[in-house]
Amino acid sequence: MNESIISIRNLTMAYGDNVIQRDLTFDIQRGDIFVIMGGSGCGKSTLLRHMIGLQAPSAGSVLFGSEDFWAASAEEQDRLKRRFGVLFQAGALWSSLTLAENIAFPMEEFTRLPADAIRDIVATKLALVGLAGFEHYYPSEISGGMKKRAALARAMALNPDILFFDEPSAGLDPLSSRRLDELILQLRDSLGATIVLVTHELPSIFAVANNSVFLDAESKTMIATGDPKHLALHGPDGVRSFLSRGEPS
Amino acid sequence: MIANPDKAHVDFTRQDTLLRVHCTGAWNWSAPHPAMPEEPLWAGLSGVRLEATETTEEDGALLAWLLKFCRVAAERNLAIDTGGLAEGTQKLLALALAVPPRTDHPTDASPGFFASLGGIALRLWSDLPLALAFTGEITQAFGRLLTGKARLRRRDLMWLIEANGPRALPISSLISFLVGTILAYMGAVQLAQFGAQIYIADLVAIGMVREIGALMTGIILAGRTGAAYAAQIGTMQVNEEIDALRTLGISPIDTLVLPRLLALVMMVPLLTLYAGVVGIGAGMLIATTVFGVGIREYLHETVLALSWTHILIGMFKGTVYGALVAFSGCWRGMQCGRSAQAVGEATTSAVVTSILLITVSASVLTILFQRLGW
């Protein structure tokens, strides 16, 4: 089971001359629920954008298994991208398509499934996220939490082995947020997916994560990596106070 | 020593190197506030003590004054003792003073006339390679479409065709009719001096079909479709919808730009032709009702005046303008930043770019066709 599915090697991220984070090196194992943590503005979402192929690093590499994403050809990159699904912060559902069309789109592009099979798959995915019967709604007609769940259904459309979540609980009420945590755990257990989360929601971090990296905005690099429950007790000072909301333990 | 209980007042008293600042009276934003102490009073101080008694305030005016005072005192490295203030005020002040103000303000100094002129020139210059790169991407996408590697979603294309073809007919009718009327009137006033009203037909037919129909269609589409394209794609950029496409390995050029470009290029020759027909109709109405030309004469003259060359040149120009409008709209949309403000700028910029490109290409094409003798 000790097999790295994603390896980050000496990654440096920058916008022009403005370095966000330097020298990040960590591994994500198959079946991990991995959290990228850190204070606001430390570059968590930027790191995610590097991992999902939206932004090229200034130095270092992102490896999926043994394949270096940013050194690969465009076709190779497209093939690697199909191995993962992404849930964006506000869902990013295509607003001109209905929920069913949103979920069907990746399948229509990349598989040769017949239309009625796609229809059944769409219904199943929607049911899994608690949105059965919402096929013909447009994203503008449903609430923010429902959009996120629909986007999750879309991210799962191609049965990816890695799922990336950008602040999944942002804007959700505590109950919906907990339901999402449970869904994440189920996805890992039933589909064997590896899950990478960007979040600073402490209850979620402790409820789901078994591994993490902590980015520091001051020193512009990672200051800890490991199980957050362990870091909360034995990590460096900055990490311990972050994980206890600055309250003395 | 309370001068007037209705007025905000501050007493400054020095005790050795300590300055006692005593606030009294009613503080609110509508009344003038006491001035900061003069320079001599600050000299040789080591600390300040803030006190307030018998003050009334409803709207935070006292707190604002105290905060301003503390900032001045802090600049002079004086010890600040807030012990003489009400407990609530002390806490709020401590909260406000906890983080020192940021000093490196973003530079918002507006550049001078020549500097901003230079800025515009540099921006236009740097746009050029970007426009070429975008043209290259579209060409590649077109290549993928022709070799069957990219697929056009038929439903998207049909929707775009409907939105930008038939639905532009009402506004196109109105504008073409009015332009036809203007053309007929202006020509007729001159031609009537020689009793040559019948040539209104030539003027309107050639003018509308060869030049103005295409130009007006281009400008209508710039405002209608170019703006819509930029706003649609720009908003998708803001909502991360384009990122969502990219992370699936789907090119946004294939799925968003290509259908928009094709829809407009397919529709614009027809719209140009339609504008010409409506313009001729308007000219005929004016010539027959106002200037006494017979309907049959007018039609006959129109048919004589028009040639396939005029019609094809008009449609060609319209197609060029339509392609430029779709290009500008999609390009500015794809360049859009990630805020509502940026979508507005992208839309404006799309319309301006479209009109600029239409005008330049109209001049070039007109001269070109004249030189070629077509």
What pLDDT is attached to residue B346?
95
Residue A3 confidence (pLDDT) above 80 = no
Q: Which domain holds residue B332?
A: 140-372
Domain count, chain B: 2
Last residue of a domain, which of B70, B98, B126? B98
Amino acid identity, position A113: L
Q: Which residue has the tokens 């043994």?
A: A66
The four Cα atoms B152, B153, B159, B162 give a dihedral, to 10 degrees, of 30
Give the pLDDT of residue B176: 96
Note the pLDDT tens digit of each residue in A49-58: 999 999 999 9
Q: Which fold has domain A1-83+205-249?
A: Rossmann fold (3.40.50)
Q: Is residue B125 part of a domain?
A: no
- The predicted pLDDT at position B119 comes to 87
Residue B179: what pLDDT?
Answer: 95
Report the Cα B320 to chain-centroid distance in Å. 23
- Provide residues of B within 8 Å CB-CB of chain A: 151, 156, 232, 235-236, 239-241, 243-250
Name which of B151, B156, B244 is nearest A88 (Cβ-Cβ): B244
pLDDT of residue B108: 64
Burial class (CB in 10 A: 0-12, 13-18, 19+), A133: exposed
Distance CA(B248)–CA(A135), nearest Å, equals 21
d(C-alpha B90, C-alpha B88), whole Å: 5
Asked if B246 and A95 come within 8 Å (Cβ–Cβ), the reply is: no
Chain A hits for B235, CB-CB cut-off 8 Å, are: 95
Q: Do B240 and A81 touch (CB under 8 A)?
A: no
Q: Examine the domain organization and report whether B174 and B301 are in the same domain.
A: yes
Q: Which of B236, B247, B250 sits opposite A53 (nearest CB)?
A: B247
Residues B247 and B187 placed together within one structural domain of the fold: yes
Q: What is the pLDDT of residue A82?
A: 87
Of the partner residues A54, A96, A110, the one whose CB lies closest to the CB of residue B247: A54
The helix or strand, by DSSP H or E, that contains position B245, with its residue range, turns out to be helix B241-247
Which residue in A96, A108, A112, A165 has the most chain B C-beta atoms within 10 A of its own C-beta, making it the best mutation to test that interface?
Answer: A96
> Can you give the residue ranges of every domain in chain A?
1-83+205-249
Q: Report strand pairing: A162-166 vs B79-84.
A: unpaired
Q: In a mutagenesis test of the B interface, which of A94, A148, A159, A167 is the best target, namely the one with the most B β-carbons within 10 Å?
A: A94
Residue A177 φ/ψ, nearest 5 degrees: -65, -40
CB contact under 8 A, B243 and A92: yes
Q: What is the pLDDT of residue B1?
A: 46
CATH number reported for the structural domain that contains residue B30 in this entry: 3.30.750
Partner-chain contact A54 B239, CB within 8 Å: no
In chain B, how many H helices and how many E strands? 15, 4
* Torsion, Cα of A143, A148, A154, A158 (10° steps): -160
Show pLDDT as tens, one digit a residue, over chain B (374 residues): 445 667 788 888 888 888 888 888 888 888 778 888 887 778 888 888 888 888 877 678 888 888 888 888 888 888 888 888 888 888 888 888 888 787 776 666 777 889 889 988 898 888 899 999 999 999 999 999 999 887 788 888 999 999 999 999 999 999 999 999 999 999 998 998 888 889 999 999 999 999 999 999 999 999 999 999 999 999 999 999 999 999 988 899 999 999 999 999 999 999 999 999 999 999 999 999 998 899 999 999 999 999 999 999 999 999 999 999 999 999 999 999 999 999 999 999 999 999 999 999 999 999 999 999 88
Question: Looking at beta carbons, which residues of chain A come within 8 Å of B246?
Answer: 53-54
> In terms of CA atoms, which chain B residue is nearest residue A53?
B247
What are the CA-CA distances from residue A146 to residues A158, A176, A192, B272 (Å)?
A: 20, 10, 24, 45
Q: Are B301 and B312 a contacting pair, CB within 8 Å?
A: no
Q: CA A137, CA A95: separation in Å to the nearest integer? A: 10
Is B89 inside any structural domain? yes
Going by C-alpha positions, the residue among A171, A170, A162, A164 that lies closest to residue A80 is A162
Contacting residues of A for B245, CB less than 8 Å apart: 94
Res B4: pLDDT: 63
Question: Number of CB pairs < 8 Å for A and B?
Answer: 48
Tell me if B248 and A109 make a contact (CB, 8 A cut-off).
yes
Examine residue B4 and state whether it is found in any structural domain, yes or no.
no
- Mark whether B316 and B237 lie in a shared domain: yes
Model's pTM, two decimal places?
0.81
User: Which residues, 6 or more positions from A239, have their beta carbon under 8 angstroms from its beta carbon?
Assistant: A37, A214, A223, A224, A231, A232
Owner of token pair 């090229």 = A56
Q: Please tell me whether residues B13 and B149 are part of one structural domain.
A: no
Residue B103 falls inside a structural domain = no
Residue B236 sits in the same domain as residue B298 = yes
Q: In angstroms, what CA-CA distances link B236 with B144, B146, B256, B357?
A: 23, 26, 10, 25
Per the CB < 8 A criterion, the answer to whether B226 and B325 are in contact is: yes
**A14 φψ region: left (φ > 0), alpha (ψ -120 to 50), beta (else):** beta
Rounded distance between C-alpha atoms, residue B360 and residue B354, angstroms? 10
Q: Is residue B134 part of a domain?
A: no
Domain boundary among B67, B98, B129: B98
* Chain A interface residues (partner B, CB cutoff 8 A): 52-54, 77-79, 81-82, 84, 86, 88-90, 92-96, 106, 109-110, 154
Q: Quote the pLDDT of residue A249.
A: 52
User: How far away is chain B from the Cα of A230, in angstroms, using its nearest Cα?
Assistant: 32
- Across the interface, whether the CB atoms of B240 and A92 are under 8 A apart is answered yes
* Residue B122 belongs to some domain of the structure: no
Q: B98, B131, B152: which is the final residue of a domain?
A: B98
Q: Which parts of A82-222 fold into alpha helices (H)?
A: 99-110, 115-128, 144-155, 174-191, 202-208
The per-residue pLDDT for range B299-308, each reduced to its tens digit, is 999 999 999 9
Is B317 in the same domain as B267? Answer: yes
Q: Do B340 and B237 belong to one domain?
A: yes
Cross-chain residue pair A88–B250, CB shorter than 8 Å: no
Query: Does B189 share its domain with B43?
Result: no
Question: Would you place residue A1 in the very low, low, confident or very high pLDDT band (cuts 50, 70, 90)?
Answer: very low
Q: Are residues B154 and B258 in the same domain?
A: yes
What is d(CA B32, CA B212) in angstroms, rounded to the nearest whole number? 64
- CB pair distance less than 8 Å for A77 and B249: yes
If you measure CA to CA, which chain B residue comes closest to A97?
B156
Nearest CA to B22 among B58, B78, B62, B60?
Answer: B62
| Per-residue pLDDT tens digits for A168-185 | 887 788 888 888 888 888
A-chain CB neighbours of B162 within 8 Å are none
Whether residue A83 contacts residue A31, with contact meaning beta carbons closer than 8 Å, is answered with no
Look at residue A248 in the predicted model and tell me its pLDDT: 63
